[in-house]
Amino acid sequence: MGLEFPTPIGLAAGFDKNARRARALSALGFGFLELGTVTARAQDANPRPNMFRLPMDRALVNRLGFPNEGAARVAARFAKLGKLGVPVGFSIGKSRAVQIGDDPEPVVADYRESFDAVREVSDFVVVNISSPNTKDLRVLQGAALADPLLGALAARAEGKPILVKIAPDMRDAEIDDLCQVVDKHGLAGVVATNTTVGREGLVTPKDVVDAVGSGGLSGPPLRARALEVVKRVRAALPKATIIGVGGIEQGKDARAMLDAGANLVQIYTAFVYRGPFAARAIALELLS
């Protein structure tokens, strides 16, 4: 993307939703940060409880939604920080109040507003159309809706790299179709993947998982599918930038993702379970 990364280990979106901790995070060994997700309209989190640990699986389940103070306010605060020494991207999502209907323009306008707010303070922008915690959001991954949305944002890019974040729960054919849209509009690449709504292969007892309820699952149970998706995206987009996300806890996990075709990787759940220097530790493990 024309950027230099001190390490390939980045922070995934969702941890610093309002860009309040970017300077501190940049000092912990991350090679880059993805802040947000921000939306055009400020909004609260989904009702609590909305985040859970599954320690037996070293996994998390969240149904936060996109709680944030609004893209313009967050961007204005972040602009005051100056350079952090690592590339910083912003994730943008759909405002909860904007409904998805037959006419894509309200959704396009909502994303466009967020994009315009963060474009000048970002090294890259990630279009989140794959969170499971905003009603109907994932339908935007379908080519028919993704095409006008991504096309509209690409038209406003002015050289800013744009990536799209996709779900692990997409069928392979749907991934291929969306990659064609990414290629058509000249987007920089893909972030693969978001959290999963699946609950297969967990060690945690079923009654405990059922009690947690809905939400996106992250951590090691997602690793195998995330690798599959990265391989598929790389085959479809041989020249794109791919950021691999899902179950990366150790250097060997990051290496597997890079070998699968990712240029960069991100962590979130490992940051929770391994502690504040997880990114630094994983980067050093890559060297061993």
**Up-side HSE of residue 69: CA atoms within 13 Å toward CB?**
13
| Dist CA 117 CA 74 (whole Å) | 9
* DSSP SS3 for 147: helix
Q: What is the pLDDT of residues 146-205, one digit of tens each?
A: 999 999 999 999 999 999 999 999 999 999 999 999 999 999 999 999 999 999 999 999
- By the 8 A CB rule, do 11 and 69 touch? no
Identity at 282, one-letter amino acid code: I
Evaluate if pTM is beyond 0.85: yes
Q: What is the pLDDT of residue 246?
A: 98
- By the 8 A CB rule, do 191 and 165 touch? yes
Which residue intervals of 213-250 are DSSP H helices?
223-236
User: Would you please indicate which residues are annotated as catalytic (active-site) residues?
Assistant: 131
Q: What is the pLDDT of residue 113?
A: 98
Confidence of residue 144 (pLDDT cuts 50, 70, 90): very high
- By the 8 A CB rule, do 14 and 268 touch? yes
| Dist CA 41 CA 19 (whole Å) | 16
Residue 79 DSSP one-character state: H
Average pLDDT, the chain: 98
Q: What is the pLDDT of residue 201?
A: 95
Nearest alpha-carbon partner for 227 in 198, 258, 264, 263: 258
Q: What is the pLDDT of residue 59?
A: 98
- By the 8 A CB rule, do 191 and 245 touch? yes
| Mean pLDDT, rounded, for 228-239 | 98
Q: Which domains does the chain have, with CATH numbers?
A: 9-287 (3.20.20.70)
Q: What is the pLDDT of residues 103-126, one digit of tens each?
A: 999 999 999 999 999 999 999 999
Q: What is the pLDDT of residues 64-101, one digit of tens each?
A: 999 999 999 999 999 999 989 999 999 999 999 999 99
Confidence of residue 133 (pLDDT cuts 50, 70, 90): very high
End-to-end CA distance of the chain: 27
